[in-house]
Amino acid sequence: MTTTRIRSVSAPRQRGMSLIELMVGVVIGLIAVLVIYQTFAVAEGVKRQTISAGDAQKTGMIAMYLVGTELASAGNGIMLNQDDLATCTDTGDVKTTMRPFSVLIEPGADDDTADSFVVNYGTARSVVTPSVFMAKTSAGDSTYTVQSPTGFKKDDMVVTITGSGDCERNTVTAVTVPDANGNVVLSVGKPSSFEMLPTMRIINIGPAASTQRVRYDVSSGVLRSTDLVTAGATAQPLASSIMNMKVLYGVDTDGNGTVDTWTPASGDFAAAKVLAATGAELRRIKAVRLGMVVRSDEYDKDAPAFNWTLFECTAQEATDYTCPDPITGTLPANYRYRVYETIIPLRNPMWNR
């Protein structure tokens, strides 16, 4: 009898991941996630800072361009008529005066308070020199007879000048066809306050809808422009995050036609004195020096407090000009700041002196 032996075959051994190995893998994964998150947070912070500083830079460049363009137009259409307009009585009010200033700086209360300034210019398209009255206009009349067949259009703003101090701004409502002598009759929006005799002057300063006198100021960090010609006009925002704006006059003190002194709007160049200045005194103002401090909109917890300086003359400038003391200040931390300065020559006063 044969005995058959049966060999037992054991089942293959089970293999897998233990709880300890699983926990080690989770910890390694969490460390990797933490490293990635920290890298991302640092990169995002650098990105925000870069964008924030870039935004401040763009805001400053746009604001300086807008204001610089307006300052470059200062005195247009005014300087050619400066001697006539200089006979107008000083009203003491920049909104109503007919005095022939190009730029009027209104200083802030201190270094940390922004200055404001008013730009005065004309936009006449046809005639930029004075025309004369050809017939008497009595006080209370609403028509002017002048010899300028193509110099005036409906809706133009005009200034009448008696030569003895009485000046008035009015708006043309209609213009007749020229007669054989080239005379036209202008109908105006309100009766004349003064008697205008033949040979007295009338100046066209351009369409009434085009602003000729604009104030630029900073309120609650917003750069604004305000039309001073249109009654009831409200300030229009131009740029935000403007923390300060300072302005200096560039003055020719020795009559050689170039700037040799930078001065704030004080003393002989205080706002009231500039409004009352003669044509010769106004022609001494040759340029404007403009400075702005601009802030980013993005909060930056790592940014320190910012110490700013405006109008610090270099060694070369100190030999070329008489420079006032630089203006300094400190702005709060946690924001990025940029400082801008530029010099704008007043071309119209220089070209039309």
What domains appear along the chain, each with residue ranges and CATH number? 52-89+221-228+235-351 (no CATH), 131-207 (2.40.10)
- pLDDT over threshold 70, residue 93: yes
pLDDT of residue 20: 78
C-alpha closest to that of 323 among 271, 270, 257, 249: 249
Tens digit of pLDDT for each residue in 332-350? 998 889 999 999 999 887 7
- Here the tokens at position 78 are 């005014």
The lowest-confidence range among 26-30, 34-38, 104-108, 154-158 is 34-38
Residue 108's pLDDT band, with cuts at 50, 70 and 90, is: very high
pLDDT of residue 336: 86
Contacts of 223 (CB under 8 A, 6+ apart): 63, 67, 216, 217, 237, 238, 239, 240, 242, 245
pLDDT of residue 9: 55
Residue 40's pLDDT band, with cuts at 50, 70 and 90, is: low
pLDDT of residue 8: 56
> Mapping DSSP to helix (H, G, I), strand (E, B) and coil, where does residue 99 land?
coil
The pLDDT > 90 percentage for the chain reads 56
Helix-strand-coil percent breakdown of the chain, rounded to 5? 25, 30, 45
Contacts of 83 (CB under 8 A, 6+ apart): 279
Distance in angstroms (rounded) separating the CA atoms of residues 13 and 222: 78
- Indicate if the alpha-carbon torsion angle 125, 130, 136, 140 is positive or negative: positive
C-alpha closest to that of 346 among 297, 286, 301: 286
pLDDT of residue 4: 57
pTM of the predicted structure, to 2 decimals? 0.83
Query: How far from 162 is each of 26, 158, 222, CA to CA, in Å?
Result: 93, 13, 41
Tens digit of pLDDT for each residue in 128-177? 788 899 999 999 999 999 988 888 999 999 999 998 999 999 999 999 99
Q: Say which DSSP state 322 is in.
A: B
- Mean pLDDT over 310-331 rounds to 89
Question: Pick the residue with more confidence: 46 or 154?
Answer: 154
